[in-house]
Structures are given as structure tokens and as C-alpha cells.
Amino acid sequence: MTVTFKKLHSTFAAEVSEIDLRHVQDEHTLAQLRAGMAEFGVLVFKNQHFSNQEQLDFAQRMDGALHAKTSSAVLAKNRFGNEALTDISNVGQDGSILDASDRRRVSSISNRLWHTDASFENPAGRYSMLYARNIPPVRADTQFADMRAAYDALDAETKATIDRLHVYHSIVYSRHIMGFDFSAEESAKLQGATHPLVRICEGSPRKSLYLASHAAHIIEWQIPEGRLLLKDLMEHATQPQFVWSHEWELNDLVIWDNRTTMHRARSFDDIKYKRELTRVTTLDLPRQQVASAA
């Protein structure tokens, strides 16, 4: 089938024409969706009706190998029995709302900082696919930042300075500075990873800033100098002209490319209202490796 895209922001993000992703099997349609991801960075699909397995199956068809090494897997046993289906919710195993002091909740508060998924792993996350199964009666938006538009807007001197730099990403670091510490045993499973600061992804010739709250320091520079540069770049990349907010409706699926966007959760009264979403993130492997890893 032919897929069309309606732009949601002047530089990125689009809503996809009516489609039931459970039944999208053909390469022709999947290739159009991947091309849409390369162009827009964020795609919104309305009225999806996934079971857990159907969401996992679609993610695999769309992009191959799935990420199962998430920080939430380190903190608690997954209530779905599959670590590739990340539980983005404020409820526990029994379905009741987590207490304010629950470690899973306290750790997840840091998802309200700008980040990209699994940048502290190698391979990192490529696409994240977040599906709304239960939403609160109040706004609980997810915001996205266009990291290619942010790169384009840098001056030539800054671009030349940062093009060859590498960044160490660590969730142990990003959670620690927010006041949450993993145990020694947990930290041992979260070693962090190094990635280029500027990236080019397949399907688009444009460069992108690869940043996240997890970005701890720049490999080639002294730590304080690197942190200052990272703070400046984060401030630059999250200016209002680069940001788009998604207001969730039930059964929305939003897919974003972690290499060309950052995102953050906005706060809501999560002690009062339930919010249950499931996320599948794919591995950022070179395309030719995906088929063998899937």
C-alpha cells in the first residue's frame, strides 16, 4: 500500500496515514515507513491495536534485532516475561500504582531529562516504538528534539570542533547526578558505552548531534571542558524551535529514531493516575548485520 505523511512540525515529525501495523508484512510498505523515519525522525500512528506479541513482531519486521538490555531490566523483573518489551508505566507487578519511594519510579523520574534510549549500551538503541495502552485523563506528553536541525544551526567553527569527538554515555552517571544510585551489582551490568558526538545515519545525508542526559564526558577532552561543551550543546539543541510535543491518545504508537532525535517525558500526577505504555527498542546495528542478528 502507499503511505503518506503529514508534517507535525516545521523541521521533523509526521503523522502517518491510516494503517493497521499488525497486518503490514510486505517489504514495499516497510521500506516506505523506514524512508519516513529517515526523513522525519518521529512518526505517529493512530488507532493501533497491538497485543504484546504483535507489538514485538511488528518491531522485528520494521527494524530487525530488539534491545533487551535496558536499565529497567536491571532494576526489576519484567511483568511481561520478555525484556525486549519495556514496561513504561507507573504500575507494579500486581497492576497497582507504584509508591512514591519505589526504586523503579525514582529511577524513571530521570526519563524527564532529555535523552536517547540505550545510548549507554553498545549497540545503542536505533528505533524506539512506544505504544499507549492506558493513558491518564491529564496531559502526560512526550517531547522530542530535532537533532539534525540543531546540528545544522550550529556555526561552522563549532561544527568543525565537534565533528570528530566521541562521548562516553553512562546511565550510572546520569542517575547519580539526579540522586539515584544503582547498587554495585547493578552498576556492573551497566558499564556505559562510547559513541561519536556527530553522526550520519543511513537514508539521509544530514548530520545529527548524538546527545543525552547519559552523556558523561568527551573522550578526547579534559572532563570539565567536555561537560561544559555537552551542557552548551544540550541547551542549544532543546531550544523551542527544535522541539515538538506529542499529546498522547489511547492506542497511539510513536516511533522515533534515537540517533536523530532526543526525547523526554513530561511530568503528571503519577501517584494518582495510571499510565501504561510498552516500548520496543531496536539495536543500532549496521543494516547488513540486522538480518543475521534478528
Interaction site with Fe ion (CB under 5 A): 117
Measured from the CB atom, the residue of 117 and 284 that comes closer to Fe ion is 117
Contact 75, 103 (CB under 8 A): yes
Measured from the CB atom, the residue of 117 and 252 that comes closer to Fe ion is 117
CB 101 → Fe ion: shortest distance, Å?
Answer: 22
CB 117 → Fe ion: shortest distance, Å?
Answer: 5
Grid cell digits, residue 31: 521500506
CB 260 → Fe ion: shortest distance, Å?
Answer: 14
Three-state secondary structure readout of the chain: CCCCEEECCCCCCEEECCCCHHHCCCHHHHHHHHHHHHHHCEEEECCCCCCHHHHHHHHHHHHCCECCCCHHHHHCCCCCCCCCCEEEECECCCCCECCCCCHHHHHHHHHHCCECCCCCCCCCEEEEEEEEEECCCCCCCEEEEEHHHHHHCCCHHHHHHHCCCEEEECHHHHHHCCCCCCCHHHHHCCCCEEEECEEECCCCCCEEECCCCCEEEECCCCHHHHHHHHHHHHHHHCCHHHEEEECCCCCCEEEEECCCEEEEECCCCCCCCCCEEEEEEEECCCHHHHHHHC
Measured from the CB atom, the residue of 117 and 270 that comes closer to Fe ion is 117
CB 83 → Fe ion: shortest distance, Å?
Answer: 16
- Residue closest to Fe ion when measured from CB atoms: 117
Measured from the CB atom, the residue of 9 and 214 that comes closer to Fe ion is 214
Measured from the CB atom, the residue of 6 and 139 that comes closer to Fe ion is 139
CB 111 → Fe ion: shortest distance, Å?
Answer: 5
Measured from the CB atom, the residue of 32 and 260 that comes closer to Fe ion is 260
- How would you class 82 by CB atoms within 10 Å of its CB: exposed for 0-12, middle for 13-18, buried for 19 or more? middle
39 half-sphere exposure, CB direction, 13 A CA radius: 16
CB 256 → Fe ion: shortest distance, Å?
Answer: 9
CB 160 → Fe ion: shortest distance, Å?
Answer: 31
Measured from the CB atom, the residue of 133 and 159 that comes closer to Fe ion is 133
CB 265 → Fe ion: shortest distance, Å?
Answer: 7
Total residues belonging to the chain: 294
Measured from the CB atom, the residue of 217 and 264 that comes closer to Fe ion is 264
